[in-house]
Amino acid sequence: MALTQFVFGTLGSGGGMIPAMLGTPVTSETIATSGSNQSTTAVALPRHNVVRVSTDVACYVAFGTSPDATTAAGRIYLASGVTEYFGIVAGQKGACVTA
Domain-wise residue ranges, the chain: 3-98
Is a pLDDT exceeding 70 seen at residue 16? no
Burial class (CB in 10 A: 0-12, 13-18, 19+), 93: buried
What's the confidence (pLDDT) of residue 94? 95
Model pLDDT for residues 42-97, shown as the tens digit of each residue: 998 888 888 889 999 999 999 999 999 998 888 999 999 999 988 889 999 999 99
Torsion angle, CA of 74/96/88/51, rounded to 10 degrees? -140
CB within 8 Å of 89: residues ≥ 6 apart? 44, 49
What's the confidence (pLDDT) of residue 99? 92
